[in-house]
A and B are shown apart, each in its own frame.
Chain A
């Protein structure tokens, strides 16, 4: 950072946290995976995804492959690389200019500023996104990611990039998808180590014979089997295909009933109905608290933290128990805070449709569940109540107290 030396080009970071997690999950105390796996995984990742300065996306299926619809190589090049604006004023290096200082070059949520932010910046590698229009376990759509970039996330350090031209926003969206798929694939490879028993993931020596020697048919078949398992199944079926299908999974938002309109004569009763659902069927007060200030359940962790603290059974209160993870780059665990609903800012957007989607689909990676048991009218009632919360005085008319549970449950 200082001095006059030309700095090395940035590199993707190895997912050491996942490595340590896999070791602790599958190996006995003190045992380790062979170090060669790190180089092998790096080699496969580089062959498929390139480097931060020269990204690739594996269009190995030909020009007609639908994967082209997810990520275009032109957009990747626009977002990747060092920051500069060339003479034609077409920008490149957008990710490093706008995102990398928090999300990290690798998209691991561990940029230079990450440790000082609350909440931590998103680690894309888990493939989970909180605010989206698709159900749990489905990736977000381009539109969802664009909304986050354009509007930012209120109440977090994520700013709005509304002033960027549309093509640059799209380039960043695709680069985020690229980093996500790359991270998901790396996690897949690391997950395979336990069953390999020391064998390579893809054994290049099967086809890479010394001069004058040709690989046998059996060797070629074996090599191709390995390629299909790792790349065809691991990358294509588990990751790319799911991203391709996601546009079809967008949750339909049923129209709000007329009482949702604040000028409707039945609106007050509708809000009251929402309040009853908040306390009874929805069980929202368990986390958000009786008055909605987010003081209910306070000792939950999100999936990005649970991913490693649960597998290794570490005690989040005891830094020594998770030092193996923090030494390789994990950020210290912090409990996830339920939203304070009385302040009228919502991370996933304040449009009624946004709130409807948060209730209907839940928030991926957090304890907020999907409200599968509620009808759409009931969800709209809760949305109406949540939107009314900032404007009611919690201390008046007994609103700070939970309603009589027996009365509500009947």
Chain B
């Protein structure tokens, strides 16, 4: 009985944590960027003379 309840508990925790994880990963969109442009911009930033 105790063993079976423990399993329920473990399954519940796993389900809840995956739910929380999925929720947090879907509400706010990831930053999208263009890798090639980011590299071009990076080299331009380094090339320019800033004062």
Shortest CB-to-CB span from A96 to chain B, Å, is: 14
Q: A42-B31, A108-B28, A112-B24 are known contacts. Are A1 and B37 too (CB-CB below 8 A)?
A: no
Which residues does chain B contribute within 8 Å of A61, judged by CB atoms?
50-51
- A39–B32 CA distance with the chains assembled, in angstroms: 5
In the complex, A204 has a CB within 8 A of chain B = yes
Residue in B21, B31, B46 whose beta carbon sits within 8 Å of that of A1 in the complex: B21
Residue in A2, A12, A204, A327 whose beta carbon sits within 8 Å of that of B40 in the complex: A204
In the complex, B1 has a CB within 8 A of chain A = no
- A47–B46 CA distance with the chains assembled, in angstroms: 11
Shortest CB-to-CB span from B32 to chain A, Å, is: 5
Residue contact B32 to A60, C-beta cutoff 8 Å: no
Which residues does chain A contribute within 8 Å of B45, judged by CB atoms?
47-48, 58, 60, 227, 231
- A1–B20 CA distance with the chains assembled, in angstroms: 9
Residue contact A60 to B48, C-beta cutoff 8 Å: yes
Residue in B22, B37, B46 whose beta carbon sits within 8 Å of that of A204 in the complex: B37
Q: A48-B45, A231-B45, A232-B50 are known contacts. Are A16 and B28 too (CB-CB below 8 A)?
A: yes
In the complex, A196 has a CB within 8 A of chain B = no
Which residues does chain B contribute within 8 Å of A232, judged by CB atoms?
50
Residue contact A1 to B17, C-beta cutoff 8 Å: yes
In the complex, A13 has a CB within 8 A of chain B = yes
Q: List A30-73 residues whose CB lies under 8 Å from chain B.
A: 38-39, 41-48, 58, 60-62
Give how many A-B residue pairs fall within 8 Å (CB-CB).
91
Shortest CB-to-CB span from A196 to chain B, Å, is: 17
Interface string of B23-46 (1 = CB under 8 A from A): 010011111111101111110111
Residue contact A327 to B41, C-beta cutoff 8 Å: no
The number of chain B residues with a CB under 8 A from chain A is: 28
Residue in A43, A60, A202 whose beta carbon sits within 8 Å of that of B33 in the complex: A43
Q: Identify the closest chain A residue to B26 (Cβ).
A: A329
Q: Identify the closest chain B residue to A38 (Cβ).
A: B32
In the complex, A250 has a CB within 8 A of chain B = no
In the complex, B9 has a CB within 8 A of chain A = no
Q: Identify the closest chain A residue to B24 (Cβ).
A: A112
Q: A42-B33, A47-B42, A204-B37 are known contacts. Are A60 and B50 too (CB-CB below 8 A)?
A: yes
Residue in B17, B21, B28, B37 whose beta carbon sits within 8 Å of that of A43 in the complex: B37
Residue in B20, B31, B48, B50 whose beta carbon sits within 8 Å of that of A11 in the complex: B31
Residue in A14, A60, A108 whose beta carbon sits within 8 Å of that of B30 in the complex: A14
In the complex, B12 has a CB within 8 A of chain A = no
- A226–B22 CA distance with the chains assembled, in angstroms: 39
Residue contact B27 to A45, C-beta cutoff 8 Å: no
In the complex, A256 has a CB within 8 A of chain B = no
Shortest CB-to-CB span from B14 to chain A, Å, is: 6
- A329–B24 CA distance with the chains assembled, in angstroms: 9
Q: Identify the closest chain A residue to B15 (Cβ).
A: A2
Residue contact A208 to B17, C-beta cutoff 8 Å: no
Q: List 26 A-B contacts (CB under 8 A).
A: A1-B17, A1-B18, A11-B30, A11-B31, A14-B30, A14-B32, A16-B29, A39-B32, A39-B33, A41-B31, A42-B31, A42-B33, A43-B38, A44-B38, A47-B37, A47-B42, A48-B45, A60-B45, A106-B28, A110-B28, A204-B40, A207-B44, A208-B37, A208-B40, A231-B45, A329-B28
Q: Which A residues lie at the B interface, using CB under 8 A?
A: 1-2, 11-14, 16, 38-39, 41-48, 58, 60-62, 106, 108, 110-112, 202, 204, 207-208, 223-224, 227, 231-232, 236, 327-329
Contacts A2-B21, A39-B33, A329-B28 known; 6 new A-B pairs at CB < 8 A: A1-B17, A1-B21, A12-B30, A42-B32, A46-B38, A47-B41
